[in-house]
């Protein structure tokens, strides 16, 4: 089949089974078709889903979810959440994904949709070529159970209670909303997003228990357990799915609750790169840390995107931006931030102070990757002394971003 024998079309609600069939095969979940259809149904937005068609069948699919993410200084801000990208095994490396990406990103630009796209990548090498930058990392902590806290950790007076899912949901949703309003990187969640994130089908459990819920007035945790035994005794595992605490006492109480579950050897919790967890422990080494790439972002319309967040300090620079895949972003832009952190981005013809790419600005967008670090890697080039330092400071947020929801 020649590369130009493909056509691109929007999907409809009737395409859900065939869409899911492509996803099931692409993600090697051949035995879980019914579960995947059920999972996809919770979030499917057919009007924002795209198929690449060959011989009347879907050779590749992808969709955009209407989502939001907390950005510095502005709270929840709309983003297009790109997900369910898959290409049939016998149509790979013929440009099907490239067609999907072009349809999505050019379509968002032309329709004036969200100025930012975001995704989690199955493989880290895929999306840079389409202008995505790595905006957040996350840390998987593996903590030895029963590890004591440092003296003086304040647990407060409120108890952590284990409750059934039905009782938990109305308690945890307002806590999450409060958290997501202010924690940079946190995704806003609607009904379908909750259903998808808390799916309890066998393939989501991966051999572990159904979700358990523990609540505190200012926090909650949803987690799974797996029993196990070693020659040294009980060696079960707790794997946290979703954990939010809005006060230090709730944070410490919930961690203590998890660490003290009997018959458990290890507790696994994902957190941001500045997760305070190890600061609670008498032996910080009891928490092993593994770092992974998290949320990738794409500035679809660079000028609107850069104005959608607040900045930490005033700056006035001319940026020379490279962007092959979305050429309307390429060229010179004057980027000014006034003293209240509000940005203005306008076309400019002056000599540039800094050269960069829109992918690297996306990496810096949430304050997760410093502009100065990108410069140290040779990905941002300074032409006017001091401008990298000024930009770098302006892009920082109070804390590094944390996005812990794979969608």
Binding site for ligand ACO (CB under 6 A): 26-27, 60, 82-87, 92-98, 119, 121-123, 125-126, 129
Nearer to ligand ACO, 124 or 279 (CB): 124
How far are the Cα atoms of 18, 87, 111 from residue 21, in angstroms, in the given order? 5, 11, 29
Nearer to ligand ACO, 122 or 283 (CB): 122
Nearer to ligand ACO, 60 or 272 (CB): 60
Sequence-separated (6 or more) residues with CB below 8 Å from residue 254 = 160, 214, 216, 219, 220, 221, 243, 245
Known binder of ligand: residue 87?
yes
| Shortest Cβ 131–ligand ACO spacing (Å) | 13
Nearest alpha-carbon partner for 374 in 126, 135, 131? 135
Nearer to ligand ACO, 96 or 155 (CB): 96
Q: What is the DSSP letter of 301?
A: S
Known binder of ligand: residue 97?
yes
Known binder of ligand: residue 244?
no
Q: What is the DSSP letter of 328?
A: G
Known binder of ligand: residue 98?
yes
Nearest alpha-carbon partner for 133 in 326, 366, 375? 366
Residue 89 φ/ψ, nearest 5 degrees: -55, -35
208 vs 237: CA distance, rounded Å? 9
Contact (Cβ atoms closer than 8 angstroms) between residue 60 and residue 88: yes
| Shortest Cβ 33–ligand ACO spacing (Å) | 16
Known binder of ligand: residue 378?
no
| Shortest Cβ 242–ligand ACO spacing (Å) | 20
Question: What amino acid positions are annotated as catalytic residues?
Answer: 127, 407
| Shortest Cβ 53–ligand ACO spacing (Å) | 13
Binding site: residue ranges?
Answer: 85-87, 93-98, 122-123
């Amino acid at each position: 089949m020649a590369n130009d024998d493909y056509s691109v079309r929007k999907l409809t609600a009737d395409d859900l089974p065939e869409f899911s069939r492509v996803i099931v095969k692409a993600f090697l979940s051949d035995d879980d078709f019914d579960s995947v259809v059920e999972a996809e149904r919770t979030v499917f937005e057919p009007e924002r889903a795209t198929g690449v068609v060959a011989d009347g069948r879907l050779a590749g699919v992808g969709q955009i979810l209407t989502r939001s993410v907390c950005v510095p200084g502005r709270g929840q801000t709309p983003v297009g959440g790109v997900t369910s990208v898959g290409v049939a095994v016998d149509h790979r490396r013929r440009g099907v994904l490239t067609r999907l990406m072009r349809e999505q990103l050019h379509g968002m630009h032309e329709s004036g949709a969200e100025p930012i796209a975001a995704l989690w990548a199955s493989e880290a090498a895929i999306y840079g070529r389409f202008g995505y930058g790595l905006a957040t990392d996350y840390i998987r902590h593996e903590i030895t159970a029963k590890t004591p806290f440092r003296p003086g950790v304040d647990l407060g007076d409120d108890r952590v209670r284990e409750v059934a899912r039905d009782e938990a949901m109305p308690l945890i949703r307002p806590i999450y909303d409060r958290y997501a309003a202010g924690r940079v990187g946190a995704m806003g969640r609607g009904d379908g997003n909750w259903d998808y994130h808390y799916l309890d089908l066998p393939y989501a459990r991966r051999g572990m228990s159904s979700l358990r819920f523990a609540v505190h007035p200012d926090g909650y945790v949803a987690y799974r357990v797996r029993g196990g035994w070693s020659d040294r005794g009980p060696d079960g595992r707790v794997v946290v799915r979703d954990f939010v605490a809005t006060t230090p006492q709730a944070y410490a109480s919930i961690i203590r609750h998890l660490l003290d579950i009997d018959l458990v050897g290890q507790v696994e919790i994902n957190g941001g790169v500045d997760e305070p967890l190890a600061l609670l422990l008498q032996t910080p080494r009891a928490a092993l840390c593994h770092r992974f790439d998290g949320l990738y972002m794409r500035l679809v319309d660079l000028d609107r995107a850069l104005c959608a967040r607040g900045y930490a300090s005033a700056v006035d620079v001319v940026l020379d931006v490279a962007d092959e895949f979305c050429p309307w972003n390429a060229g010179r832009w004057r980027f000014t931030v006034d003293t209240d952190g509000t940005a203005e981005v306008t076309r400019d013809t002056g000599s540039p102070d800094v050269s960069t790419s829109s992918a690297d600005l996306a990496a810096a967008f949430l304050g997760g990757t410093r502009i100065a670090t990108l410069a140290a890697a040779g990905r941002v080039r300074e032409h006017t002394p001091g401008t990298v330092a000024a930009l770098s400071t302006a892009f920082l947020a109070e804390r590094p971003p944390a996005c812990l929801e794979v969608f």
